[in-house]
Amino acid sequence: MTNQSVDVCIIGCGPSGLMLSRLLAIKGVSSIILERSKRTHVEKRIRAGVLEHGAAQTIIDSGMGERLKAERMLHDGVCFVIDGKQARIDLTAYAEGQQISVYGQHEVVQDMIAFTLENDVEIVFDAADVALHDFETGVSPSAGPNAGPSASPNASPSVTYQKDGQEHTVSCKYIAGCDGFHGVSRKSMPDDKITEFHRSFPFAWLGIMAKAEPASDELIYARHRNGFALHSMRSQILSRLYLQVPLETDIADWPDDKIWDELDLRLGADAGWSVNRGEIIDKSVTPLRSFVVEPMQLGKLFLAGDAAHIVPPTGAKGMNLAIADVRVLAVGLAKMLNENDGSMLNEYSQICLRRVWKAQRFSWWMTAILHTPEGAHDTYQSRIDQADLEHLLSSDCYAKIFAENYVGLPFEV
Ligand code: APR
Ligand code: PHB
């Protein structure tokens, strides 16, 4: 049995937990990260790969972006193929010179873990049975009405976990729940203190990673009668591609040749363009859904990233929202711990939710206009979506709104 003390106990070693720990360290606030999986598992999980302008800059400014700077692919625009017709939106022209960075989330996580350990912040991998205690009690100075119950200001939270057959306790001043959608943090909040908003979509994405040179310099989003497709990439020799498939899809029904043929069909424009084929090294099916919890705070427990909200991957906002949340949380916690000023911490949930709902709207909209539920081609809704896309691709005003959202809205904090 061990007992440790830190300012902030962070649960989850994804982009939100790792970035929070670094931003806190810069401000002299101590933290520990408790992660239930093994390091190799966390570092190899394949996720999306687009960083907004501000998210990439946050990683670079934090000191963890040396490899990102060297290896990322900076893109000025994105392409669309709508029923075989090609179009492009010049992001940089419409969004005041901002670009997106194409760089895999698992590479971001690898860079952040290496940096964190080199800088002597402890990450406990393989931490089982993580449990949160006494976070509902105690409020911070100048607490607003949503800050949690006004109980004893002296009560302090703790987190327990099992490792190597022993129970360990971390005593802390605050807990950051950065443990993703299936994590323990949000589940520790009583149901009557939170409201959850859910939306599921009637389709999934079949994603592949292939050892193939990307066939396009930019991302291509396709809307086709057979469904959505996306051409993305990770490097000059790795392509990342997706197909809309029915929810109950069994991956065994999609042999490699069938995937490539369908990608060619949906992404192929008038000019007879085709994707570059190569060895498929990863294949998965992921359902699309949206989720938000309000508020993102209860007492001294703060949720960030996927623990508080998830978006469908269209638009790649997941990792970007996680980074935006912890920017606010780090400043709020540091002001409280260093200056005894709880004003920003008490506003944490409201500040984050303003951005979260805008990203929810954007991701929902991109998903809706680019996908067609099976068998719903010649419907009123499909014509509306088509009109929406035609407007987007022919109007400077609309393209500017798209570009502003795609490269990332400005940070409030
Ligand atoms: N105890 C400890 N760790 C846990 C627990 C638990 N009970 N439950 C989950 N975790 C860990 C997971 O193993 C994972 O490593 O929390 C981490 C959460 O990381 P992410 O899921 O990457 O979430 P986040 O850091 O918020 O990043 C959001 O990740 O899922 C993508 O699309 C999402 O891009 C977005 C980004
Ligand atoms: C990806 O490269 O994985 C990716 C890119 C753009 C998206 C979603 C995923 O909208």
The pLDDT of residue 62 is 98
CATH 3.50.50.60 fits 2-67+106-197+290-360, yes or no: yes
The pLDDT of residue 272 is 74
**Catalytic annotation present for 221:** yes
CA of 289 to the centre of ligand 2 (A): 15
**In which element (H, E) is residue 357 found?**
helix 348-370
Instruction: Give the pair of three-digit tokens for residue 272.
Output: 């007879």
Question: What's the mean pLDDT when you consider all of the chain?
Answer: 94
Give the pTM: 0.96
Place of tokens 């935006």: 324
- Pocket probe mutation, ligand 1, options 306, 325, 326, max atoms within 8 Å of Cβ: 306
CA of 181 to the centre of ligand 1 (A): 7
| Atom nearest to 313 CA in ligand 2 | 8
The pLDDT of residue 83 is 86
Instruction: Give the pair of three-digit tokens for residue 65.
Output: 């972006």
256: helix, coil or strand? helix
Give CA 314 to chain center in angstroms: 11
Range(s) within the chain of domains with CATH label 3.50.50.60: 2-67+106-197+290-360
| Atom nearest to 127 CA in ligand 1 | 2
How far is 59 from 408, CA to CA, in rounded Å? 15
Mean pLDDT over residues 324-342, rounded?
Answer: 98
Helix ranges restricted to H, 209-347: 256-267, 318-339, 343-346
Q: Express each pLDDT in 128-141 by its tens digit.
A: 999 999 999 754 55
Residue 299 has pLDDT above 60, yes or no: yes
The verdict on the CB of residue 48 being under 6 Å from ligand 2 is yes
**Catalytic annotation present for 75:** yes
- Pocket probe mutation, ligand 2, options 46, 51, 240, 369, max atoms within 8 Å of Cβ: 240
Long-range contacts at 267-274 (CB < 8 A, ≥ 24 apart): 267/81, 267/220, 267/222, 267/229, 267/231, 268/81, 268/84, 269/81, 269/84, 269/85, 269/86, 270/84, 270/85, 270/86, 271/86, 273/215, 273/216, 274/215
203: helix, coil or strand? strand
Nearest CA residue ID for atom 2, ligand 2: 49
Place of tokens 């009109």: 387
The pLDDT of residue 359 is 98
The pLDDT of residue 151 is 38
Candidates 3.90.78.10, 3.40.605.10, 3.20.20.70, 3.30.9.10; CATH matching 76-99+199-289+375-407: 3.30.9.10
- Report the chain's C-alpha Rg in angstroms: 22
Q: Express each pLDDT in 243-277 by its tens digit.
A: 999 999 999 999 999 999 999 999 986 667 899 99
**Catalytic annotation present for 313:** yes
**Catalytic annotation present for 348:** no
Q: Express each pLDDT in 369-410 by its tens digit.
A: 999 888 888 999 999 999 999 999 999 999 999 999 999 999
How far is 333 from 347, CA to CA, in rounded Å? 11
342: helix, coil or strand? coil
Range(s) within the chain of domains with CATH label 3.30.9.10: 76-99+199-289+375-407
Query: From the CA of 55, which ligand is nearest?
Result: 1
CA of 202 to the centre of ligand 1 (A): 24
Long-range contacts at 134-140 (CB < 8 A, ≥ 24 apart): 134/158, 135/175, 135/188, 135/298, 135/299, 135/300, 135/301, 136/190, 136/298, 136/299, 136/300, 136/301, 137/299, 137/300, 138/299, 138/300, 139/299, 139/342, 140/300, 140/336, 140/342, 140/345, 140/346
- Pocket probe mutation, ligand 1, options 19, 20, 21, 36, max atoms within 8 Å of Cβ: 36
- Pocket probe mutation, ligand 2, options 73, 78, 223, 232, max atoms within 8 Å of Cβ: 232
The pLDDT of residue 150 is 39
Mean pLDDT over residues 301-325, rounded?
Answer: 98
The pLDDT of residue 141 is 55
CA of 171 to the centre of ligand 2 (A): 39
Q: Express each pLDDT in 140-180 by its tens digit.
A: 555 444 444 333 455 799 999 999 999 999 999 999 999 99
The pLDDT of residue 244 is 98
The pLDDT of residue 144 is 44
How far is 317 from 365, CA to CA, in rounded Å? 13
The verdict on the CB of residue 219 being under 6 Å from ligand 2 is yes
Query: From the CA of 313, which ligand is nearest?
Result: 2
Helix ranges restricted to H, 143-238: 184-187
The pLDDT of residue 84 is 85
How far is 180 from 193, CA to CA, in rounded Å? 19
The verdict on the CB of residue 275 being under 6 Å from ligand 2 is no
Report yes or no: 233 and 103 within 8 Å, Cβ to Cβ: no
The verdict on the CB of residue 148 being under 6 Å from ligand 2 is no
CA-to-CA dists, residue 56 to 61, 72, 105, 130, 288, angstroms: 9, 10, 11, 31, 25
Mean pLDDT over residues 325-329, rounded?
Answer: 98
Task: List pocket residues of ligand 1, CB cut-off 6 Å.
Answer: 11-17, 34-37, 42, 47-48, 105, 127, 130, 178-180, 182-184, 305-306, 318-319, 322
